[in-house]
Amino acid sequence: MKATLARSGASPLAFLSVSRSHVGRVRKVNEDRVLDRPDRSLWAVADGMGGHRGGDIAADLAIAALRGLADAPAPITRAVILAALDQANAEILARGAEAGGVIGSTIVVLHVADGEAQIFWAGDSRAYRARNAAWEQLTSDHSLVQQLLDQGLIDRAQAARHPQGHVITRALGVESVVEVEAMSFAAEAGDILLLCSDGLSRSLRWEIPRELDLIDPRAADRILAEALENDGSDNISFVIVAAT
């Protein structure tokens, strides 16, 4: 596991970030991948699917496409992020075909430029924001359970224990064209953002912890330990980003 605490000069705000990725208590392979690049104000979490066919490869390809943007000197824009995700989608689709089946990866991306935070996602990896001590989920899952919730066919208690809770309706590498959802907002000093795979969002038994206000590796370790204690049946990955 790696922690990154650094300042970014890519916007009027400065950012501190810390990340964790853990295999969990049950699975043998970690199919999650994390990008933690505060130097370029770019962060992401990918959750691979495909098991022995290569869910970890799918997540690797998703993060590699974004890392290429972070490593290049050119400005990072909405257009180049979407292009990178399209590239990753095509590469994952091709690798799945080579493996004789479908592999894929959910993705959630955060980029901040000139004070504007942009979030991109496909699948059930999530983004949350704390502002003025109030937490809210910014993304809406692309999943069967979310569709049932939106249609009023189940409530949140039923959703939490639904037998098809792992069925997602959108991901990189599943179709030739992937529809990546996006949103943006003006970032403010004091904002704390959390990107995570569903291994974290399903493992936490309480609202997003106030401990995230302590943006340091110890806070991340406590969050991970709590998630492992509560469930840990899936890989657990997250990035915490604080605007200062």
- Domain CATH number, residue 47: 3.60.40.10
What's the structural domain count of the chain?
Answer: 1
Can you tell me which residue has the tokens 């257009």?
79
pTM of the model: 0.89
> Rounded CA gap, 36 and 66, in Å?
11
Q: Which domain holds residue 124?
A: 15-243
Comparing 103-117, 174-188, 201-215, 221-235, which segment has the lowest mean pLDDT? 201-215
> Rounded CA gap, 143 and 164, in Å?
9
In a domain, 35, yes or no: yes
pLDDT of 133 reads 77
In a domain, 2, yes or no: no
Question: Highest-confidence range of 5-9, 29-33, 214-218, by mean pLDDT?
Answer: 29-33
% of the chain at pLDDT higher than 90: 64
H or E, element range at 34: strand 32-37
Q: Is residue 159 scored above 70 in pLDDT?
A: no
Comparing 52-56, 65-69, 157-161, 178-182, which segment has the lowest mean pLDDT? 157-161
In a domain, 77, yes or no: yes
> Rounded CA gap, 15 and 244, in Å?
6
User: φ, ψ for residue 219 (rounded to 5)?
Assistant: -65, -45
pLDDT of 53 reads 74
Instruction: Compute the radius of gyration of the chain from its Cα atoms.
Output: 17
**195 contacts 238 by C-beta, under 8 angstroms:** yes
Can you tell me which residue has the tokens 């970032």?
187
In a domain, 8, yes or no: no
Mean pLDDT for all residues in the chain: 86
pLDDT of 6 reads 45
- Joined together, the tokens standing for residue 169 give 């309706």
- Joined together, the tokens standing for residue 164 give 């098809």
- Joined together, the tokens standing for residue 14 give 């400065």
pLDDT of 3 reads 43
Burial of 221 (0-12, 13-18, 19+ CB in 10 A): middle
In a domain, 7, yes or no: no
